[in-house]
Amino acid sequence: MTIHPKPELAAREAVIFDVDGTLVDTLDAHLEAWLEVLNRFGYHPQTSDLRALFGKHSVEWVRALLPPEDQEHVGRQIIQAKDRAFFSRLDELPNFPGATELVRDLYTAGKRIAVATGATEIELPRYLRKLGIADLVHATVDGDEVASGKPDPESVRLALRKLERPPRKAVVVGDSLFDAEAAREAGAAFVGVLTGGFTEEALRDAGACEVYEDVGALYEAVLPLLTATP
């Protein structure tokens, strides 16, 4: 995997992070929660079909997995049940090594930090506490705050407005094709990590200017630039 010598995170004023699969290892827990609830409601999708949706808003999962006649009423029940099933697992989920340190050092270096996520307004504060970054984030956008989740760029655009920074001065860090598409449509750069189940080639094809194994590898790459003496 190629790592660029001048990471975008060091060159931009604002950094917008995804959370699920990027800062916290949630992929398997989300898949387990979706499978548990879908099976309970009589739907039996393949795990591979679910993996392809990781990073999208729950409404998009329902649209992809349920027949049209079930998407509104039954879909709403499924989303609520899935949120409960996932929330019960949240405290057990590990942060990716380097996640907290990366956000901390970017903050210390004077970067404007935002989190733009499909996580609910109840889940997001818990994530920030788990990561120990609640006091380091200048702006947040949760999944309940936007009409359309990723790949729609609404959450990234809202984060940019809250940060008061133009897209050309921002970079989005995420793990999915949908993070990449949202960043591209919002006009921001995108840095990908491989912890969401997508390949480097797929992330680069979606617009990633850099791809790293995980946020720990990204942290190792930007640390020398963040701590360099002018």
Nearest CA-CA partner of 18 in 203, 228, 222: 203
Is a pLDDT exceeding 90 seen at residue 98? Answer: yes
The percent of residues in the chain predicted with pLDDT above 90, rounded, is 80
CA pair distance 74, 127, nearest whole angstrom: 28
End-to-end CA distance of the chain: 30
pLDDT tens digit sequence for 103-162: 999 999 999 999 999 998 999 999 999 999 999 999 999 999 999 989 999 999 999 999
Which of the following is catalytic: 18, 83, 175, 214?
A: 18
pLDDT tens digit sequence for 3-57: 444 567 778 999 999 999 999 999 999 999 999 999 999 999 988 889 888 878 8
Quickly count: other Cβ atoms within 10 Å of residue 59's Cβ.
Answer: 17
| Residue 70 among the catalytic residues | no
User: Domains of the chain, with CATH numbers?
Assistant: 8-26+95-226 (3.40.50.1000), 27-91 (1.10.150)
